Amino acid sequence: VSPVTMNAFELISTSQGLNLSSLFEK
Amino acid sequence: GCFECRPPRLQNCGNRFEEIARLASETIFTVNEVEALYELFKKLSSSIIDDGLIQKEELHLALFKTPSDENLFLNRVFYLFDEKKNGVIEFDEFVHALSVFHPNAPMEEKIDFAFRLYDLRQTGFIERKEVKAMVIVILMESDITLSDDLLEAIMDRTFADADADKDDRINTEEWKDFVLRNPNLLKNMTLPYLKDLSLATVFPSFTFNTRIED
């Protein structure tokens, strides 16, 4: 998906800093 | 944990059980799940400094796999986890915050947490300039270059959809309406992993035997 077609919050929510599932990676 | 209690540590274990029972009563987690979260907390809070507290660098290490404390989004997550605002995440704060990310947590809590995440200056509004600043950070993180015109087009489209009263800031009601129409925006507010949290699945080598019934 091109960033140009996404809304701003869709873009923001892809941040690694907001992806807490990494906490559970072994 | 308390699995190898010897008499000198019994008092501590009693306190630990009380704390775990209290956290289970305050959150969506069961006693066993809080105990499993404690094992995760111990791992995270000892990754750089073994002091039983999660430093910002330790959260960065867990999320980005590199030790640093400079990232806008990490700062926001850390700020919201750190209820006491004393610069470290304590175990009870860790459990409280993760409770919001449970698949069964109320949608209202997820909507509110995301709002506070994006309300960078804590004004009670997500301001257009805050959103633009966050988008610029994301584009830099992703090595994507966009002209300011394209960036403004993204901002215009987003605010045309989200900012019903056209004052260039999103209030809590507008945010709620917006995310309910765009539920994918809350996807990272749910961690499916939290639903399978137990010592048996997370730490299969443990034989779990607690004195407290769930």
- Using CA atoms of B14, B42, B200, B34 in order, give the dihedral in degrees to the nearest 10: 60
User: Which pLDDT score is estimated for B11?
Assistant: 47
The string of pLDDT tens digits covering residues B115-126 is 999 999 999 999
Three-state SS annotation for B21-47: HHHHHHCCCCHHHHHHHHHHHHHHHCC
- Which of A10, A15, A19 is the best substitution to test chain B (most B C-beta atoms within 10 A)? A15
Q: In the prediction, which pLDDT does B203 show?
A: 56
pLDDT at B12: 58
Is 90 exceeded by the pLDDT of residue B212?
no
The candidate with the shortest Cα–Cα distance to B125, out of B168, B158, B83, B161, is B168
Tens of pLDDT along B169-189?
999 999 999 999 999 999 999
Report the alpha-carbon distance of residue B72 to residue B190 in Å, rounded: 20
Given a cut of 70, is residue B143 above it in pLDDT? yes
Cβ contact B184–A14 (<8 Å): no
Residues of B in contact with A6 (CB under 8 A): 154
- What chain B residue is nearest to A20 in terms of C-alpha separation? B63
Cβ atoms within 10 Å, residue B207: 8
- Taking contacts as CB-CB distances below 8 angstroms, the residues of chain A near B65 are 22
**pLDDT top residue among B96 and B10:** B96
In this prediction, residues B195-203 reach a mean pLDDT of: 65
Contact A17 B185 (CB under 8 A): no
pLDDT confidence of residue A4: 75
Question: What is the pLDDT at residue B199?
Answer: 54
Distance CA B141, CA A18 (A): 13
The ipTM assigned to this model is: 0.91
Identify the pLDDT of residue A23.
93
Q: Which residues of A touch B162 (CB under 8 A)?
A: 7, 9
Range picked from B9-23, B95-109, B131-145 for highest mean pLDDT: B95-109
Give residue-wise pLDDT tens across range B24-78.
999 999 999 999 999 999 999 999 999 999 999 999 999 999 888 789 999 999 9
Which pLDDT value is given to residue B5?
Answer: 45
Bridge partner residues of B126 (DSSP): B170
Nearest to B40 among A12, A18, A23 (CB): A23
Q: What chain A residue is nearest to B74 in terms of C-alpha separation?
A: A17
Res B2 pLDDT > 90: no
Average pLDDT on B80-94 reads 98
* pLDDT confidence of residue B4: 47
Spatial separation of the C-alpha atoms in residues B64 and A23, rounded to whole Å: 10
The stretch B207-214 carries a mean pLDDT of: 49
Instruction: Write down the pLDDT at residue B7.
Output: 43
Residues 1-26 of A with CB under 8 A from B: 3-4, 6-24
